[in-house]
A and B are shown apart, each in its own frame.
Chain A
Amino acid sequence: MQENLLNALRGSGWLPLLSVSLGRNRTDLRSALVGCTGIFGAEFRRFSLERSKPGKFEEFYGLLQHVHKIPNVDVLVGYTDIHGDLLPINNDDNYHKAVSTANPLLRIFIQRKEDADYSAFGTDTMTRKKNVLSNVLRPDNHKKKPHIVISMPQDFRPVSSIIDVDILPETHRRVRLYKYGTDKPLGFYIRDGSSVRVTAHGLEKVPGIFISRLVPGGLAQSTGLLAVNDEVLEVNGIEVSGKSLDQVTDMMIANSRNLIITVRPANQRNNVVRNSRTSGSSGQSTESSLPSSTPNILGSLLQGEEESDEEDIIIEDSGEPQQIPKAAPTSESIESLSQIELLHESTQNGFLPSSELNLNHSAGSISMEYEVPEPGRKSLEEEGTIITL
């Protein structure tokens, strides 16, 4: 029945909408929503809009308030895009985008502004949480402290982030590029080169992989977190030393949907000098407990791993494209499955403690990083040469 209706609507140029309004608890909802019976504190509305004439955001906002019978309640409006991400609707542009990309149904989520869960928005939210509803609707599962709102991050989609700042030496930077869902190319090139490391045998020149070019307008350049001549140390937690340029290229492309690159920036001046090792207790913990800090790193990486778990698309009987669900493990194979997951963990585990980390620890409070300009690249490299004491 429903399918037929949807198909009919699609044919007619009307966009069906499924709107869900959410509250953080039932009492709030009762006050805001009339006649709510949902046990999870959600109310569903199904209505339609003319696809060719979506109108303005203001009008739509009013329509939603009307449909849910919540006039004068400030709400955050969000929708799930084709990749399953929960994205905000707060202006005409993203409203039109939402309407134009909806296929066949536009799923709208409404939250009261004051108890909105900002973390629900953004890239990969749907895939990470498996089902955004289950997360948003079951606030009890959500034991996290409420996020401190600095700006309005829900208004934006993340394109990059610096991660694991607390566990990396300050000369390194771990950058995460969110290719997922954007049309922008990653837009960078890598090359072979050589860098100088401190080893047991003194200073040694070792081959390394460097960023050689940024494509103007590409994701890498627009983030400002990567620069030409930055040395690539790790790709998604795996050290690149000993790997050929082609191997590193293949690894980056294979991880391109959720690329985490650890670099030693050529320009070390912008680094925040953290006094972790002299005073801070966090420094203490990193130093004293390298083994125990590993799960930390792992945690963030595993999350990355999980989030990168891109979903393949299946088209059944030449029908609708849809994401391939993860098979529920059957009772007989559950053990083996969990072993596979463990395998992933342990391989990463094995890769993680990087030599640089070890170096820093063994050097005690003095950390030295050398970068020696490569002949023929003087002007660029010299700028980045720095010794941090």
Chain B
Amino acid sequence: MRRFLRPGHDPVRERLKRDLFQFNKTVEHGFPHQPSALGYSPFLRLMAIGTRSGAIKLYGAPGVEFMGLHEENNTVMQIHFIPDQCQLVTLLDDNSLHLWSLKQHGGASELREEHRFTLKGPPGSPPSATQVTAVLPHSSREVLYLGTESGSIFVLELPSFRVLEDRTISPEAVLQRISEDNCNRRSCELVEALREHPKNPDQILIGYSRGLIVLWDLQNNKSFVWLSFQQLENLYWQRDGSKFISCHYDGSYTQWPVSSDNRQPEPLENTVPYGPFPCKAISKIYWQTTKNGLPYIIFQGGMPRASYGDRHSISVIHGSQQTAFDFTSRVIDFFIIFSSDPAAEFDDPSALVVLAEEELVVIDLKSAGWPAVHPPYLASLHCSAITCSHHVSNIPLKLWERIISAGSKQNIHYSSMPWPIDGGTNIAPDPPQRDLLLTGHEDGTVRFWDASGVCLHLLYKLSTVRVFLTDADPNDNMNTLGEDEWPPLRKVGTFDPYSDDPRLGIQKIYLCKYSGYLAVAGTAGQVLVMELNDEDAEHVVDHAEADLLQDQEGYRWKGHEKLKTRDGPVRFEAGFQPFVLVQCQPPAVVTSLALHSEWKLVAFGTSHGFGLFDHQQKRLVFVKCTLHPSDQLALEGPLSRVKSLKKSLRQSFRRIRRSRVSSRKRRGVTEGGQIRSCWCKGEVDALQEMELAPVQRKIEARSAEDSFTGFVRTLYFADTFLRDSSRHCPSLWAGTNGGTVYAFCLRVPPAERRMDEPVRAEQAKEIQLMHRAPVVGILVLDGRSTPLPEPLEVAHDLSKSPDMQGSHQLLVVSEEQFKVFTLPKVSSKLKLKLTALEGCRVRKVTVANFGSCKTDDYSENDLAVLTNLGDIQIISLPFLKLQIRYPCIRKEDVSGIASCVFTKYGQGFYLISPSEFERFSLSTKWLVEPRCIVEMPEVTSNNHVHNKSGTENAARKSSFFSSSLLERKSGRLMEHALLNDESE
């Protein structure tokens, strides 16, 4: 009778589904797209970044992060923390002010918008009258001073955001107090800077854009006036309040004394640091005192206009030391971390934190040579454009340590300083396992990220460039500047969006976590097999060529040439070192890759065919051409017409860039962001033009003659029953764009004769799906309907050995359907049609293991599927029943959908911008999300108390930890209890 129940209404199954599946977007990794504002609270030790889309993100100690989004989606212009409070004020480009606060809720802190306010002038006044240009949160925490374009300074009461009109400092009031010769209405226009006196909260320093600087006493409306003849950019107080410094549009800065008598003071010192030729404006300046007497003067800009005017620089001057840190992208803002203890006599700056458009750079000012600090978060994922990604769950500790040690050798030039922005406490449970996210980049590098927790942290960077001869001049090192170079520029940061050769781009990555073998394949048909080596080594990379067009004739490849290889031994640093290079011919982009570390075989496919390489014997086993004889498009090159236009655009910009690079050698100019943005713009315009044709779609069945049917989409190794049901053998499966599946029977000699006998392969089956949709996934299920384990998984006792008694099944996933076939005799068993019924196509598919959040002993394997509409569907195995569907990515976000990668345990990542991964979870059990708490530090300031509060914090932390656990299910509690036992 049960078969007549409507499926999907089995109450037991429905309950189980609730215990297994849950969709959450948990955290954004990487660097915020288009940052526009920076703020820092020395009190909370938290940093805030605002973006052009209206997001604000707060960061503290690793793992402490908060995110908020303004409803308006307007650019965040300024961020100011309220002194000694868990509150901050943001100013958007629509002139609205927003008050945010960190409040504790359910044991963790949350960022919430409390209040919003827009300054309104008297009726009839121009908008400039209330256009806010400067914000000063007063140390009394009661008021906010708002400088405006008209020169008026409004006073807002906090937290009510009520304008205290009687306290407004109008330009007229200021003009009354200054002597006649300066008396000019226009000199009081546009407030550039508002600074509170460091010792006397009743005095604020007002800087007007035309050079007038006024120290205003709030108590008795007294004022002192200074006048500079240069347009003012910014002001900064010296710590004791006896002097201040102003910086100007002409690239100069000036120190001014503050005395109580009322005569016109003269500047103490006026300097143009990069003079004598005209210089660009210094837009922000810090004056930091130190114990040894020599101050740090740190300012942004001021470069000689003609030859270095397009540099994005921040200069640090300390006595005779002077360095201009040179950033590859525009500097948004910066701040200095110094002693926040008000009783301390000196600033003693410890770090310079710079937010550039594409990365965050922190400079250690305490160590000699001012090295950079390696940030634990906000990594610039896009320092070279991401071309592919690969996720490996549950890395064995040994491999993890070896990767970290290889990475640490690359990071020796970083400062050893602990991360200086360390506010808040991370109370999230420790990540359940060690996960690696590998990203392939356009410049031929692979980056290894620690993706276990909330902070996506770079562990190790691998470059494949060294294997090849490229046009790039190896001596083209921008840091090799002579001793007497002036200005003393030093390139910092890692953001470099240009690839010297797009053929180096990484397209496919496969890492075997048990053996440490890594296979990497790229744009010009190159396949590299690497091994992890803990030492530097110099060796020859074995080189082979795979001619995928073997028995086809009369074709001409019009795409790029293959990469030239380096002859002789190559020196490789510790880490993954290539030992085999296979180059596909024609050198089309590698579209699929599989590695079997136990059989020591690597399979690769392009738009022309696929091949199998024995990397133990370093011998090509076979190649198979999948190209349809009439498929000229696939032959000529990997790019369709649209793409070739894109390519030509790219090349023309590369040409521009080349010329810029050569001029940079002469003048030393970097112009990162701008070329990039105009490149993007050009591309977008060209693509838009192509879209103008009337939108109609051809309805035609797919046929064998379609283009790109031979494109190899997926490769899969399996030990299964291919020929008969009594003997299983190693096999290689390949699926093409035209809906064909090829199965090859492999004969791998036993380990003791592995080097003596060749690996043999023989085609055993070829399946043509009648619907001819691209095959995107192939999977063999064992006798228990469980997917076959990964190579070496059983050998490492991490998986049950597959059931070889029951009959195996083959699952073929095409873009349109899921089909299960029996093995060894291929008969179709069941299928699930997706496109015919829903009009969506499969873009990504993976087997994921879902554990129940209720009981530890239940878990099941399902298919996680991302469709071209951006939906995620979970489909059960082996019965192919749709379990649940979640909207995840906007369907217009093509690059987001293309970048999606699933993990083995039901999480996933996709790019929400070139520099940010969104992490999501489909599982109730495996959920990595920030959970942190920010508490008000005690306002008293001495080290002793501070230490005490530190221990209190720890105690509090543990209590939160346990209380948060109590909220969770008892099963989790048990798990953690066990973990704690182990660690003790």
Contact = CB atoms under 8 A, between A and B. Distances in A.
Interface of A: 179, 185-192, 212-213, 236, 238, 243-257, 310-318, 321, 324-327, 329, 335-340, 342-343, 346-347
Contact of B837 (A188, A238, A252, A329): A238
Nearest to B4: A342
A250 B7 contact: no
Contact of B696 (A213, A252, A318, A321): A213
Given A257-B770, A315-B768, A343-B7, 9 more contacts: A179-B701, A251-B839, A256-B700, A257-B771, A312-B767, A312-B769, A327-B829, A336-B879, A340-B881
B770 A311 contact: yes
Contacts, number: 146
A236 B7 contact: no
Contact of B827 (A315, A326, A343, A347): A326
A180 to B, nearest CB: 9
A255 B763 contact: no
Contacts of B8: 343
B696 A191 contact: yes
B773 interface: yes
Contact of A346 (B3, B6, B828, B891): B6
Residue among B698, B821, B826, B891 with most chain A CB within 10 A: B698
A330 to B, nearest CB: 8
Contact of A253 (B701, B723, B763): B701
A192 B695 contact: yes
Nearest to B8: A343
26 contacts: A187-B700, A188-B699, A189-B699, A190-B697, A191-B696, A213-B696, A243-B839, A244-B839, A247-B840, A251-B835, A253-B700, A254-B771, A254-B817, A254-B833, A257-B770, A257-B771, A312-B768, A314-B767, A315-B766, A316-B826, A324-B821, A324-B826, A326-B827, A329-B829, A339-B7, A343-B8
A342 B6 contact: yes
Contacts of B879: 336, 339-340
Contacts of B698: 189, 249
A213 to B, nearest CB: 7
Contacts of B826: 314, 316, 324
Contacts of A327: 821-822, 827-829
B312 interface: no
Interface residues of B, number: 50
A310 to B, nearest CB: 4
Contacts of B6: 342, 346
A236 B836 contact: yes
B697 to A, nearest CB: 4
A252 B7 contact: no
Interface string B873-901: 00000011100000000010000000000
Contacts of B763: 317-318
B827 A324 contact: yes
Contacts of A238: 837, 839
A317 B767 CA distance: 11
Nearest to B807: A330
Contact of A313 (B694, B767, B837): B767
Given A186-B699, A316-B765, A248 B839 contact: yes
A325 B828 CA distance: 6
Contacts of A329: 829
Contacts of A254: 771, 773, 816-817, 833, 835-836
A249 B836 CA distance: 10
A249 B835 CA distance: 10
Residue among A179, A254, A310, A339 with most chain B CB within 10 A: A254
A189 B3 contact: no
B839 A247 contact: yes
Given A247-B839, A250-B835, A342-B3, A310 B771 contact: yes
B3 A339 contact: yes
B451 interface: no
Contact of B828 (A187, A213, A326, A347): A326
B696 A347 contact: no
Contacts of B773: 254
Residue among A187, A243, A255 with most chain B CB within 10 A: A255
A257 B628 CA distance: 22
Nearest to A328: B827
A19 to B, nearest CB: 29
Interface in B753-781: 763-771, 773
B830 interface: yes
Contact of A246 (B697, B817, B822): B697
Contacts of B764: 316-317
Contacts of A336: 879
B566 interface: no
Given A189-B696, A247-B840, A254-B773, A325 B881 contact: no
Contacts of B768: 312-315, 321
A124 to B, nearest CB: 12
B841 A250 contact: yes
A48 to B, nearest CB: 29
Nearest to A318: B763
Contacts of A255: 836
Interface string B949-971: 00000000000000000000000
A173 B146 CA distance: 69
B699 A250 contact: no
B869 interface: yes
Contact of B701 (A249, A256, A326, A339): A256
Interface in B689-721: 694-702
A338 B5 CA distance: 11
Contacts of A186: 699-701
Contacts of A243: 839
Interface string B720-757: 00010000000000000000000000000000000000
Contacts of A311: 770, 828
Contact of B881 (A187, A189, A250, A343): A343
Interface string B235-255: 000000000000000000000
Residue among A212, A312, A327, A338 with most chain B CB within 10 A: A312
A123 to B, nearest CB: 14
Contacts of A253: 699-702, 835
Contacts of A257: 701, 770-771
A246 B839 CA distance: 8
Contacts of A343: 7-8, 881
A192 B697 CA distance: 9
Given A250-B839, A251-B835, A336-B879, A245 B697 contact: yes
B2 interface: yes
A254 B868 CA distance: 15
Contacts of B770: 257, 310-313
B405 to A, nearest CB: 49
CB-CB nearest 7 A-B residue pairs = A247-B839, A256-B701, A310-B770, A254-B835, A327-B827, A249-B697, A254-B836
A315 B765 contact: yes
Interface string B478-521: 00000000000000000000000000000000000000000000
Contacts of A246: 697, 839
A375 to B, nearest CB: 15
A39 B439 CA distance: 69
A329 B695 CA distance: 46
A250 B840 contact: yes
A21 to B, nearest CB: 31
